[in-house]
Amino acid sequence: MAALTLSGKRVLLGVSAGVAAYKSALITRLLKQAGAEVRVVMTAGAEAFITPLTLQALSGEPVRTSLLDPDAEAGMGHIELARWGDVLLIAPATADLMAKLAHGFADDLLTTLCLASDAPRLIAPAMNQAMWRSPATQRNAATLIEDGWQQVGPDAGDQACGDTGFGRMSEPEAIVTAVEGCLALTPPAAGVDRPAGTRHVVITAGPTREALDPVRYLSKHVLSNRSSGKMGFALAAAALEQGAHVTLISGPVALATPPGAQRIDVASAAEMHREALRLAPEADVFVGCAAVSDYRAAEAAEHKLKKTADEATLTLTLEKNPDIIADVAGLEPARRPPVVAGFAAETRDVRRYAEDKLARKALDMIVANDVSAAGLGFGSDDNAAWLLWRTPEGSASEHQPPQPKTQLARTVIQRALALLPGRPDTRETP
Ligand code: C5P
């Protein structure tokens, strides 16, 4: 990495006890090459995987391993060390460490620093795929995200234990990019101070919630659809990877914002519609990945609706929400993003319905998946899809076999960027 993207930045790197700890040496090196100062803190278990001496040699600073070390505390006390970092990175973060952090334990130096630091905090989980999928780890990951942690990875692939799946730590280069993103958590406003040629990708993600009363809501989940937001967030990460400026308009989800993305949180379809139309004229690519609730209550009650013992049914009047992506695609040419891409979830005739939707909503591209297949689509980590896009001659398509959403997201963003005017369209038309 030649560019000094982290010049003068101070990175506190926590290393916990996973096989991926050996990659912390490369992370340290890449951070240093990017101009950062690095101080490493290891858990006791991490020392079984990589020696402090290696990380000391690469960081050029003493490595701290113990909270109760009078000599080290006499140099830079743990609170001072916590304040020193501009960013706190934990790579690898084991399931055990995530559990401790989620519950506020401070029984060693690293966990204590995590509690004492006000800096942006980034975690790179690494563990066996079953451990990652376990409800306890997923709960802990969600808690950390709610607490403001950023998360990079884990990636899918082969694991040291012989399993295959999500749980591999992200590659060191991706982690360093995420650190850079973390330090630029508030990116410049759209159109300001962006290097010439940077593409702006605006993505809607997650579900929307339509208030029925102050405590209850209606969502697309109730009517037909479940959305975790994973695909939209994977698209944001992929667009960042490909050098774009990314704005993520997100409904309520328990997912970490990909470091570097500008996130705008919304609840209802009306709010998402307002933000989408505000940002669309500045976008090069607009991707509608949100599962927008098709209807909202015609009137949200001011007070909590009361259950009455003698009434077995409740009648609600619903009115249709605006079709966000159709309204973005229908903007006058000067304000319409050059590429508008939508999603379609179908259970049969996927390609035919997708073609209809491409035309009906005046989109440039559509990603259609078959949600009837087990283990694919809503809420899962994998997806298979048909990609359809417009060509001067009509339309073209390609099938993407089952694969991690992160991988499919990369393909979707590449295809969408390739549709931009002035970019060669290198794809094959079947
Ligand atoms: O019509 P349907 O909901 O199947 O279309 C799905 C596509 O349209 C997705 O891209 C979704 O984000 C978008 N959509 C929208 N606003 C709505 C409904 C769907 O942007 N009200």
pLDDT band at 161 (very low <50, low <70, confident <90, very high): confident
The pTM of this model reads 0.68
- Please report whether residue 307 resides in a domain: no
- Please report whether residue 243 resides in a domain: yes
Tens-digit pLDDT profile for residues 74-91: 778 889 999 999 999 999
Answer yes or no: do 212 and 361 share one domain. yes
The residue ranking higher by pLDDT, 425 or 341, is 341
Answer yes or no: do 207 and 232 share one domain. yes
**Residue owning the nearest CA to atom 21 of ligand 1:** 323
Give me the domain span that covers residue 372: 200-302+313-418
> Residue 107 sits in a domain of what CATH number?
3.40.50.1950
Q: Which residues line ligand 1 (CB under 6 A)?
A: 204, 269, 288-290, 292, 321, 323-325, 342-344
Answer yes or no: do 173 and 281 share one domain. no
Percent of all residues in the chain with a pLDDT value above 90, rounded to a whole number: 56
| 361 CA closest ligand 1 atom index | 8
Answer yes or no: do 175 and 206 share one domain. no
Answer yes or no: do 37 and 167 share one domain. yes
Considering only CA atoms, which of 47, 46, 48, 27 is closest in space to residue 38?
27
pLDDT of residue 193: 59
The residue ranking higher by pLDDT, 2 or 311, is 311
- Please report whether residue 376 resides in a domain: yes
Answer yes or no: do 143 and 281 share one domain. no
pLDDT of residue 339: 96
Answer yes or no: do 259 and 171 share one domain. no
Determine the residue of 235, 325, 347 to mutate for testing ligand 1's pocket, defined as the one with the most ligand atoms within 8 A of the Cβ atom.
Answer: 325
Residue 188 clears pLDDT 50, i.e. is over it? no
Determine the residue of 203, 292, 387 to mutate for testing ligand 1's pocket, defined as the one with the most ligand atoms within 8 A of the Cβ atom.
Answer: 292
| 363 CA closest ligand 1 atom index | 10
Tens-digit pLDDT profile for residues 203-249: 999 999 888 888 778 766 555 455 678 999 999 999 998 889 999 99
Please give the distance, rounded to the nearest whole angstrom, from the Cα atom of residue 324 to the centre of ligand 1: 7
Determine the residue of 208, 324, 356 to mutate for testing ligand 1's pocket, defined as the one with the most ligand atoms within 8 A of the Cβ atom.
Answer: 324
Residue 56 clears pLDDT 70, i.e. is over it? yes
Please give the distance, rounded to the nearest whole angstrom, from the Cα atom of residue 322 to the centre of ligand 1: 9
Please give the distance, rounded to the nearest whole angstrom, from the Cα atom of residue 278 to the centre of ligand 1: 18
| Active site residue ranges | 161
Answer yes or no: do 320 and 348 share one domain. yes
Answer yes or no: do 123 and 253 share one domain. no
Residue with tokens 């040629």: 197
Residue 192 clears pLDDT 90, i.e. is over it? no
Residue 185 clears pLDDT 60, i.e. is over it? no
Mean pLDDT calculated for residue range 181-196: 59
- Please report whether residue 429 resides in a domain: no
> Residue 247 sits in a domain of what CATH number?
3.40.50.10300
Tens-digit pLDDT profile for residues 108-160: 999 999 999 999 999 999 999 999 989 999 899 888 877 888 888 888 888 88
Please give the distance, rounded to the nearest whole angstrom, from the Cα atom of residue 250 to the centre of ligand 1: 14
Mean pLDDT calculated for residue range 12-38: 97
pLDDT band at 422 (very low <50, low <70, confident <90, very high): low
Answer yes or no: do 329 and 211 share one domain. yes
Answer yes or no: do 206 and 179 share one domain. no
- Please report whether residue 88 resides in a domain: yes
pLDDT band at 430 (very low <50, low <70, confident <90, very high): very low
- Please report whether residue 74 resides in a domain: yes
Query: How many distinct structural domains can be found in the chain?
Result: 2
Answer yes or no: do 297 and 169 share one domain. no
